Amino acid sequence: MKFGKRWIPAHLLVWSYAVLLLVPLYYFLASAFKSNEEIFAHPFALPDSFGLGNFSTAFSSADLGLAVVNSALVTSVALVLTLALALPAAFALARSTGRLASAVEKVFSLGFLIPTFAALFPTFLLAAATGLFHTRTFMVLFLPATAMPLSVVILIQFMRTVPREMEEAARMDGASTYAVLRHVYAPMCLPGIATVLLLNFLTFWNEYLYSLVIIGPDPAQRTVQVALPTLKAITGTDYGVLTAGTVLTLVPVWIVYTVLQRRMQQALVSGAVKM
């Protein structure tokens, strides 16, 4: 037996860590349906009823509905822009043999060393200078830049696997450079594109500090990650509402993760190690 008695401590330790990961999730999910009294009296009991009162309070008191829309808007437009920038760039760099191209590629791969967070204040100045301070627009423009190194490097690796002959054949049929990208490279790099989209979906949806500083507190503009912590101030210590709000922000990520679990895990692993 491969996993004999000597593995018992290992099983115990790993599973207790797994429980540490699971308990907060369960607690949040259960508390979202309870009142404060129930939460304090029986923190781990199943809720008596599945009323959505806490959710609607969270929705109305922190304008969460609007914030979800804003987040969805920022995330999706930024994703489109990321692909629009990274696909042609990776296409060009993967096919090119020039010294310039390899220098540009090096610039992107060094980009992992620049921690996004470091330049918060200068970015804030940039937002002010371009007149886009306190708007979602700046975040839509800014987020793709943070994603550029990772996206370009991942896509380049996928594009290098496309056989040269495919392009030759398309060229022979009179395909333009754009058509080669659109009809030869893009379809063959779909797994790479999916990886890039998933990774960036996570980072864009979860982005907090820049959104807080640049979009600011205006309920018409702010994203859900900025709106969520304000619940603490608005509702005081109404844990039911607090947890309901948190659960709401997790739902989109949770759905995507559960549906695309394998691909998402691959994406996260490959993405992190490239950094």
Among 12, 52, 110, 251, indicate the residue that binds another protein (CB under 8 A).
Answer: 110
φ and ψ at 14, to 5 degrees?
-65, -45
- In terms of C-beta distances under 8 Å and separation of at least 24 residues, what long-range contacts does 39-45 make, across chains too? 39/239, 39/240
φ and ψ at 223, to 5 degrees?
-90, 170
Show the binding pattern over residues 234-263: x = contacts another protein (CB under 8 A), - = does not: ---x-x--xx--x--xx--xx--x---x--
Does 80 sit near another protein (CB under 8 A)? no
Residues 31-60 that bind another protein (CB under 8 A): 31, 40, 43
What distance in Å separates the CA atoms of residue 24 and residue 29, rounded to the nearest whole number? 8
CB burial of 2-37 (b: ≥16 within 10 Å; e: otherwise) equals eeeeeeeeeeeeeeeeeeeeeeeeeebbbbbbbbbe
Query: What is the closest distance, in whole angstroms, from the C-beta atom of residue 51 to another protein in the complex?
Result: 20
Among 12, 26, 106, 220, indicate the residue that binds another protein (CB under 8 A).
Answer: 106
Among 107, 190, 251, 255, indicate the residue that binds another protein (CB under 8 A).
Answer: 107
What distance in Å separates the CA atoms of residue 205 and residue 147, rounded to the nearest whole number? 13
Query: What is the closest distance, in whole angstroms, from the C-beta atom of residue 206 to another protein in the complex?
Result: 4
**Which residue lies nearer to another protein by CB, 49 or 122?**
122
* Cβ neighbours of 84 (radius 10 Å): 11
Contact 235, 242 (CB under 8 A): yes
* Cβ neighbours of 159 (radius 10 Å): 21
Among 52, 114, 169, 179, indicate the residue that binds another protein (CB under 8 A).
Answer: 114
What distance in Å separates the CA atoms of residue 192 and residue 21, rounded to the nearest whole number? 30
Q: Which of 235, 205, 200 is nearest to 58 (CA)?
A: 235
Does 75 sit near another protein (CB under 8 A)? no
Query: What is the closest distance, in whole angstroms, from the C-beta atom of residue 95 to another protein in the complex?
Result: 6
Residues 208-237 that bind another protein (CB under 8 A): 208-209, 213, 225, 228-229, 232, 237
Residues 131-160 that bind another protein (CB under 8 A): 141-142, 144-146, 148-149, 152-153, 156-157, 160
At 177, list the tokens.
């450079």
What distance in Å separates the CA atoms of residue 243 and residue 67, rounded to the nearest whole number? 16
Query: What is the closest distance, in whole angstroms, from the C-beta atom of residue 174 to another protein in the complex?
Result: 10
**Which residue lies nearer to another protein by CB, 98 or 187?**
98
Residues 14-33 that bind another protein (CB under 8 A): 14-15, 17-18, 20-22, 24-25, 27-28, 31
- Interacting stretch for another protein, rule CB under 8 A, among 10-18, 53-61, 62-70, 72-80? 10-18
**Which residue lies nearer to another protein by CB, 85 or 194?**
85
